[in-house]
Amino acid sequence: MKAFDSYNPIVLFVYFLTVTVISMFAFNPVMIAIALVSGFLSTLTLAREGCGRFFIYAAFIFIVTSAANPVFSHNGVTVLFVMNDNPVTLEAVLYGVAMGTLICAILMLMRIFTKIMTGDKMLYIMGSASPKLALLISMTFRFIPLFHRQAVKTERTQRALGRYTEENAIDTIRMKLKIFSMMTTWGLENGIVTADSMSARGYGTGRRTSFSVYRFRRTDAVLLAVLAVFAGTIAYLIATDAVKFSYYPKMSGIAHTPAAIVCYVLYGLMCMLPVMNELEEKIKWRYLESRILGSPIR
Amino acid sequence: MVVIKSSGLRAALKIIIPFIAIPALVLIGVYVFEDKMYAYISLVITILSIVLFISGFEQRKIGTRRMVLVVVLTVMSVVGRFFPLIKPVTAITVIAGIYLGGEAGFLVGAISAVISNFFWGQGPWTPFQMFAWGLIGLIAGLAAKPLKKSRAVLLTYGALAGMLFSFIMDIWTVLWYNNGFDVKLYLAAISTAVPMTVVYAASNVIFLFFLADPIGRKLDRIKTVYGI
């Protein structure tokens, strides 16, 4: 459990939505760099498990996406060299690198989103919008392990009966499909039983409500308000071209007016919010611990 | 949180979204943002069309049994996505569309996308996957008669659906990457995706070839036996 988990799912969803939308608007190199660094740091603090493989994958995506642009786009005035009668320009290369970095940053953000917004939280959000859809999704989640167990049982039974052959690849595929087909029969029959049981217990007689353990606390309101102020300011600054940056035909300079710096700082703070939250919690924990140790009652 | 609790609002959404919100968004995109926001506008429109569909689903009374059948088929397709390389999601979505109707097809496709992305990673691409798979199921439902009658048509549709999925996803890739649509980049994206597209199309054909009849028969049987 991370500190950021303790917020209300709706607030978390709004947070991720806002950061993603703003990051996708951020073509300014400084903002892209901020997005990448904060994505990297948040991955390390919030979603460390299996991040090595993920970084390799992200690097691959980065290489492909940044290489694609100069090959297909010939805008820009600074020609580096000519390939197949097509000029490869510095601007196109840098645009490719910027977009590749941005895509990697968004991938990192989304990985953290997937880690933090677990199934139950998404269900809570969807349940408030469409109870029926939420029911469908939650039943699907419930059926996955159930089906898995039943599939293992079916396969073992088939093996015990000597009806499961895997002498060659085609045999294996055929047997897998056979199990799949058996599972379908079982699943459909079982589903009907479930449906009848639901009806018998009164499903569909009243309006559907959904249960949730989440409450809207004061900290949620604070986070939402902070988010609104930050996002509003950043959106205003982007809309008024305070951090405008153009790659074509010639790259413009990086904006460093006070307004632009405010925008960078606010964006950085917004992106780093989960990391800061986690650190704050860690520091608090250490502080409390040391106070206990230092207290007269040992 | 109250989003669409009242049925009146939901009914209003059904009119507002297609006739006011989507055209307005397109116009805002053209005139206010001067055509720079293709990716966002297409994302928002995709989400709105899914909302539209869901609000229709929310309103209608469908039987509990029918609903559970949708769940079962969704589970089969999600579980199938764990097979290496070849995925039966499209095949099962098509089968659901043919035998349970277009709405069921849309739901199986869209929900499979959401659920399996809990394992494979959510992102701005989730709505597009929902939309692409949902559409494949919906079309299968609308064209149920010819698809049911002729195997050749079914397998062709399976192959086409694999391509359709890839093409829809690549539109989004290009829109986002290039901040606007570019035919050359789109063709490049499609051609780099050719191996994946071939795998999609081939696995659809294989799964439909092996599964369409047995699962179809089972669904028909269930429908007869339990009167759905």
For the beta carbon of residue A1, count every other beta carbon within 10 angstroms. Answer: 6
pLDDT reported for residue B93: 92
Answer yes or no: do A71 and B57 touch at CB < 8 A. no
Probe site for chain A from B38, B64, B74, B223 (most A CB atoms < 10 A): B64
Min Cα separation A50/chain B (Å): 13
The amino acid occupying position A46 is L
The residue among A200, A228, A244 that closes a domain is: A200
Probe site for chain B from A110, A180, A183, A193 (most B CB atoms < 10 A): A180
Answer yes or no: do A72 and B188 touch at CB < 8 A. yes
pLDDT reported for residue B171: 81
Do A76 and A221 sit in the same domain of this protein?
yes
The residue among A200, A230, A254 that closes a domain is: A200
Residue A32 has pLDDT above 80, yes or no: yes
In a domain, A211, yes or no: no
In a domain, A56, yes or no: yes
Quickly state the pLDDT bin for B2 (edges 50, 70, 90): very low
Residue B3 has pLDDT above 50, yes or no: no
Domain of A167?
129-200
Do A93 and A167 sit in the same domain of this protein?
no
For the beta carbon of residue B85, count every other beta carbon within 10 angstroms. Answer: 8
| C-beta separation of B132 from B197 below 8 A | no
- Tens digit of pLDDT for each residue in B204-221? 898 888 888 888 899 999
Chain B residues touching residue A192 (CB < 8 angstroms) = 65, 68-69, 222, 226
pLDDT reported for residue B85: 64
CB-nearest to B121 from A64, A111, A133 is: A111
Pick the residue with more confidence: A14 or A177? A14
In a domain, A228, yes or no: yes
How far apart are alpha carbons A230 and A225 in whole angstroms?
Answer: 9
- State how many domains chain A has: 2
Answer yes or no: do B40 and A147 touch at CB < 8 A. no
Answer yes or no: do B80 and A129 touch at CB < 8 A. no
How far apart are alpha carbons A79 and B7 in whole angstroms?
Answer: 60
Chain B residues touching residue A113 (CB < 8 angstroms) = 122-123
- Tens digit of pLDDT for each residue in A100-150? 898 899 889 988 988 888 888 888 887 777 777 788 888 888 888 898 899
* ipTM computed for the complex: 0.76
Question: Of A173-187, A195-209, A211-225, A262-276, which has the strongest mean pLDDT?
Answer: A262-276
pLDDT reported for residue B199: 84
Mean of the pLDDT values across residues B179-205? 80
| C-beta separation of A188 from B222 below 8 A | yes
Do A112 and A232 sit in the same domain of this protein?
yes
pLDDT reported for residue A39: 92
pLDDT reported for residue A283: 87
Pick the residue with more confidence: B31 or A185? A185
CB-nearest to A119 from B63, B65, B118 is: B118
Do A102 and A16 sit in the same domain of this protein?
yes
Do A145 and A100 sit in the same domain of this protein?
no
Residue A298 has pLDDT above 60, yes or no: no
Do A142 and A104 sit in the same domain of this protein?
no
- Tens digit of pLDDT for each residue in B109-143? 988 888 888 777 677 778 888 888 888 998 998 88
Average pLDDT, chain B: 79
How far apart are alpha carbons B142 and B223 in whole angstroms?
Answer: 19
In the numeric block, the tokens 């989960």 are attached to A274
Do A96 and A14 sit in the same domain of this protein?
yes
In a domain, A206, yes or no: no
Mean of the pLDDT values across residues B46-60? 74
In a domain, A232, yes or no: yes
Do A91 and A225 sit in the same domain of this protein?
yes
In a domain, A124, yes or no: no
| C-beta separation of A6 from A216 below 8 A | no
Probe site for chain B from A13, A188, A247 (most B CB atoms < 10 A): A188
In a domain, A172, yes or no: yes
| C-beta separation of B85 from B69 below 8 A | no
